[in-house]
Amino acid sequence: MVSKESCRNEIRAAIRQLSDRCLYSAAKWAGEQLVGIEQDSSNFTPSNTRFQRGSSSIRRRFSTNESISTPQPSVGFSQPPATPLPQEDEVIDGDLYLLAKSYFDCREYRRASHVLRDQMSKKSVFLRCYALYLAGEKRKEEEMVGLEGPLGKSDAINRELVSLERELSALKRTGAIDSFGLYLYGVVLKEKGNESLARASLVESVNSYPWNWSAWSELQSLCTSIEILNSLNLNNHWMKEFFLGSAYQELRMHSESLAKYEYLQGIFSFSNYIQAQTAKAQYSLREFDQVEIMFEDLLRNDPYRVEDMDLYSNVLYAKEACAALSYLAHKVFLTDKYRPESCCIVGNYYSLKGQHEKAVMYFRRALKLNKKYLSAWTLMGHEYVEMKNTSAAIDAYRRAVDVNPCDYRAWYGLGQAYEMMGMPFYALHYFRKSIFFLPNDSRLWIAMAKCYQSEQLHMLEEAIKCYKRAVNCGDTEGIALNQLAKLHQKLGRNEEAAFYFEKDLERMDAEGLEGPNMFEALVFLATHLKTNKKFDEAEVYCTRLLDYSGPEKEKAKSLLRGIRMAQTGFPSMDMEHFPL
């Protein structure tokens, strides 16, 4: 276990170094983790406690592990030697550097890089290149806005990439590059499409300087499969745990990811980041109640947070918590209305209110702000489905899929849209795709089964196979068992049908449900057992039916009568000898 104090010291130094190099988002992230470390009781100040107040009680409620402050280190994980903090090559920044940094802070990137044109220290070189890169990015964005035509954007690219790559690779060859330079080199390579080299450069960067979260997240975006992730040669450091947590999450290995975060919570018990990530993982596992509480908690500590709040709004939407969603939407909108997340939240709000046109408008706005905003595409697809504009829905879903081909929701949406249009065979392909990415979700299997079952296809055997898979995945909605029973009944396989009806009955009993499905199961079982001469068991079901009113009761009565008749009709039965 890393000591909290050493972590704290490492992060403090890192924040200084990162913001010195204008790597602000990495510094921001590090800062969040810094205050996320639980304070020692000896030297906390009132301001620290204020920040950390009020959350631990709720967190304890959901913690499976009682000892929060000292979680068990994961098996096989030994404490690595701490990576020494690199010494600054210049203790005092040169005057030009100070000027360049001010320019940079005023977002005058080209000016900043110009000021540093003759500076040879690693720090200056990095800032110059970084400023140049950002200048190129800015230009690219402007071009993209300016050049959009009816057939879409032209291929605006960052025009600095070529020269940057040339310079950075030369620096790398001579060894005159530090870990920040390697990070930038990795980013440039990634943009140029050279993924494996980019990965190597980023790995080198995080191995020599692990506190740069931006480098880790770039690296994470390049790990598109577990094989790639496992092939990375990473030094052990507590930052690696953060990385793995986020990478596992992206690869849909939610429980692994949760385990990582639980471990990290031992040190960073008050980290908002970890809490949000845990909530994300739980959301994927569909633990909505828990996620809601976590987000409420998060908002209480950090009321002006916009990041990840779109997820919260999804939860509220799923739970149809209209008031809470409205509160969230208004609050976020006052904080920063031109964030894609805010627009998405408002879109969700309108959707819940049934104003689908407005919802679409806000999702569109979110997409204008970030064209690759995956969930907005998918949600917009849902809205279009609601509006019965199938082709627009398909378009939106397809864009989501093209942004991230692993997005099972969008694949599922595509399948649904085609099914709606009466093209079940075509839809099957999309359902298959979505199941490929999430094979353990019963809803997907049920959707596919319904496709097979549709009157156009009528491929019942395949439907049965799908329903079986759904049952194995723990069908939460209780459709599969009933359908299986009915399908078997339809195909004249009464034994199988009886088996599934019985199972379904058990399930309904366990959940305390009643309804037409139950009557159906009882009637079938009673009749089936009666024809198979298992009168005692049949009678049990009939008596259960007698508890209800309506036609079922009459049916039960007549069944019972039949059973009596049959029983009396058998001379061999023992009862026969006793006159009634």
Partner 1 sequence: MAGLTRTAGAFAVTPHKISVCVLLQIYAPSAQMSLPFPFSSVSQHNRLGLYLLSLTKACDDMYEMKLEELINQLRELGDDVDAWLTENLTNQFSSLSSPDDLLNFFTDMRGILGSLDSGAVQDDRIVLDHNSNLGMFVRRCILAFNLLSFEMDMEIYVMDKATKEMELHRNASGSVSFHLHTPEALFKVTEGIPYYSPIYAQEEFLRISGLLVSRKEKSSTSKFAEATSVASASSSKVEDTRVDESLFLRTNLQIQGFLMEKADAIEAHGNSFFSSSIESFLEQLQNLAPELHRVHFLRYLNKLHSDDYFAALDNLLRYFDYSAGTEGFDLVPPSTGCSMHGRYEIGLLCLGMMHFRFGHPNLALEVLTEAVRVSQQLSNDTCLAYTLAAMSNLLSEMGIASTTSVLGASYSPVTSTASSLSVQQRVYILLKESLRRADTLKLKRLVASNHLAMAKFELMHVQRPLLSFGPKASMRHKTCPISVCKEIRLSAHLISDFSSESSKMTIDGSLSSVWLKDLQKPWSQPVYSRESSSRNNSTFFKFCDHLVSIPGSVSQIIGASYLIRATSWELYGSAPMARMNTLVYATLFGDSSSSSDAELAYLKLIQHLALYKGYKDAFAALKIAEEKFLTVSKSKILLLKLQLLHEHALHRGNLKLAQRICNELGGLASTTMGVDMELKVEASLREARTLLAAKQYSQAANTAHSLFCTCHKFNLQIEKASVLLLLAEIHKMAGNAVMGLPYALASISFCQSFNLDLLKASATLTLAELWRGLGSNHSKRALDLLHGAFPMILGHGGLELRARAYIFEANCYLSDPSFSVSTDSDTVLDSLRQASDELQALEYHELTAEALYLMAMVYDKLGRPEEREEAAALFKKHITALEIPQDVEPNMA
| Chain residues that interact with partner 1, rule: CB under 8 A | 143, 147, 149-155, 159, 389-391, 394-395, 397-398, 402, 414, 418, 421-426, 429, 456-458
Beta bridge partner(s), residue 36: none
391 or 558: whose CB is closer to partner 1? Answer: 391
Helix axis angle for 356-369 and 374-386, nearest 10°, is 160
162 or 575: whose CB is closer to partner 1? Answer: 162
100 or 396: whose CB is closer to partner 1? Answer: 396
90 or 402: whose CB is closer to partner 1? Answer: 402
240 or 399: whose CB is closer to partner 1? Answer: 399
Determine whether 75 is exposed, middle or buried from the number of CB atoms within 10 Å of its CB (0-12, 13-18, 19+). Answer: exposed
HSE of 62 in the Cβ direction (CA atoms, 13 Å)?
18
| Residue 481: C-alpha distances to residues 450, 488, 524, 545 (Å) | 13, 11, 14, 20
Rounded least distance, CB 159 to partner 1, Å = 7
Structural tokens at position 129: 């290149």
Rounded least distance, CB 225 to partner 1, Å = 17
Which residues neighbour 215 within 8 Å (Cβ) at sequence distance 6 or greater?
A: 26, 179, 183, 186, 202, 205, 206, 209
Rounded least distance, CB 456 to partner 1, Å = 6
Rounded least distance, CB 155 to partner 1, Å = 4
DSSP string, 72-140: PPPTT--PPPPPPPPPPS-SS--HHHHHHHHHHHTT-HHHHHHHTTT--SHHHHHHHHHHHHHHHHHHH
| Residue-level length of the chain | 580
410 or 563: whose CB is closer to partner 1? Answer: 410
108 or 143: whose CB is closer to partner 1? Answer: 143
60 or 153: whose CB is closer to partner 1? Answer: 153
152 or 515: whose CB is closer to partner 1? Answer: 152
Helix axis angle for 161-174 and 179-191, nearest 10°, is 140
Rounded least distance, CB 422 to partner 1, Å = 6
Structural tokens at position 351: 């959707």
Amino acid 302 reads: D
Checking 563-572 for CB contacts under 8 A at 24+ apart, the result is 563/530, 563/535, 563/538, 563/539, 566/530, 566/533, 566/535, 567/535
Rounded least distance, CB 427 to partner 1, Å = 10
Rounded least distance, CB 243 to partner 1, Å = 31
Q: What is the 3-state secondary structure (H, E, C) of 188-241?
A: HHHHCCCHHHHHHHHHHHHHHCCCCHHHHHHHHHCCCCHHHHHHCCCCCCHHHH
